[in-house]
Amino acid sequence: MKIEDIKNICVVGAGNMGHQIALQAALSGFQVKSTDASEVTLQKAQQFVDSYLPQRVAKGKLTEEQAALARKNISFVKTLEEAAQDADFVIEAVTEKLALKRDIFSKLDTICPPDTILATNSSFIVSSMIADVTTRPSQVCNMHFFNPALVMKLVEVVQGPHTAPETAEVTVELCRRMGKLPVLLNKEIYGFLVNRILGALSTEAVFLLDQGIASAEAIDLAVVNALGHPMGPFRLMDLTGIDLSYHIGMERYRETQDAADKPSPVIVEKYAKGEWGQKTGKGFYQY
């Protein structure tokens, strides 16, 4: 697969990350099919696109023509078969559950043409934990976007031991053609670059909160005003989803059996209460 051959992109999962990755690809001129196992999530993704594009026009960020073209470039389809059968490149952006990702990759391997590249947007899971379910491990890699994907420039591309250099090169170039700034990791490591650094910060912030040292608001205020971050760790967890923090911790714990990897009590409590952040209207903050 060469970069010039990539015309059709399939994005599997239309949740927090998937709907914006799909729209970014459509805005960049690719033919995009967005799919999700949940019809409600797929409908919400479509509603987002239908309201976002006119807002961008009203704000002077897009012309009417650009918005209309992007809308034409993206379709929302209910089945994985329909979404992936003519894809040149697939970006999987489903929940952070290894078993689910493996199941999807094994299906994609049978549905997609033989030269299709299969990338995972996983936040932490390296693609070698998934690639072995396919007959094309050399065409599998990580392509990790950041939230909100329409805004954040960086994308981490991770070349696993199974990933062919051409696959990594094409993926890096695709990031550029999607208006993003790619960084290539030559070796796999759990959590890649950004989430390892962010994880260290968030773990410390949650520890300080759990110890009753300061409130979430005070810790956020400190990080924004002393470190110059655009938002503090708690507001950021509300944006990325406390359910995501919970699942990532649980998956890691399942793998390592190290109690230190378990999500902290405050994350477990918020997850159980359904206080998952912006998406549920309440997290560390009220929305």
The residues assigned a catalytic role are 123, 144, 156, 195
Sign of CA dihedral 261, 264, 267, 270: positive
Q: Are 186 and 141 in contact (CB under 8 A)?
A: no
Tell me if 234 contacts ligand 3HC by CB under 6 A: no
- CB of 6 or CB of 198, closer to ligand 3HC: 198
Tell me if 245 contacts ligand 3HC by CB under 6 A: no
Sign of CA dihedral 155, 158, 164, 169: positive
Helices (H), the chain: 18-27, 39-58, 64-73, 80-84, 98-111, 165-177, 194-210, 216-227, 233-240, 242-256, 265-273
- CB of 108 or CB of 244, closer to ligand 3HC: 244
Q: Are 199 and 267 in contact (CB under 8 A)?
A: no
Tell me if 61 contacts ligand 3HC by CB under 6 A: yes
Tell me if 153 contacts ligand 3HC by CB under 6 A: no
DSSP letter, residue 192: T
Q: Considering the complex, what minimum distance in angstroms separates the CB of residue 53 from ligand 3HC?
A: 12
- CB of 48 or CB of 166, closer to ligand 3HC: 48
- CB of 228 or CB of 230, closer to ligand 3HC: 230
Tell me if 193 contacts ligand 3HC by CB under 6 A: no
Size of the site for ligand 3HC (CB under 6 A): 16
Bridging pattern class, strands 140-144 and 154-158: antiparallel
| Cα–Cα distance for residue pair 147/36, rounded to 1 Å | 18
Tell me if 127 contacts ligand 3HC by CB under 6 A: no
Q: Considering the complex, what minimum distance in angstroms separates the CB of residue 240 from ligand 3HC?
A: 4
- CB of 23 or CB of 87, closer to ligand 3HC: 23
Helices (H), 85-162: 98-111
Q: Are 22 and 74 in contact (CB under 8 A)?
A: yes
Tell me if 148 contacts ligand 3HC by CB under 6 A: yes
* Interface pick for ligand 3HC out of 4, 40, 51, 59 (rule CB under 6 A): 59
In the complex, residue closest to ligand 3HC by CB: 123
Q: Considering the complex, what minimum distance in angstroms separates the CB of residue 114 from ligand 3HC?
A: 30
Tell me if 178 contacts ligand 3HC by CB under 6 A: no
Tell me if 150 contacts ligand 3HC by CB under 6 A: yes
Q: Are 120 and 97 in contact (CB under 8 A)?
A: no
Q: Are 32 and 73 in contact (CB under 8 A)?
A: yes
Under the rule (CB under 6 A), what is the footprint of ligand 3HC? 59, 61, 123, 146-148, 150-152, 195, 198, 230-231, 236, 240, 244
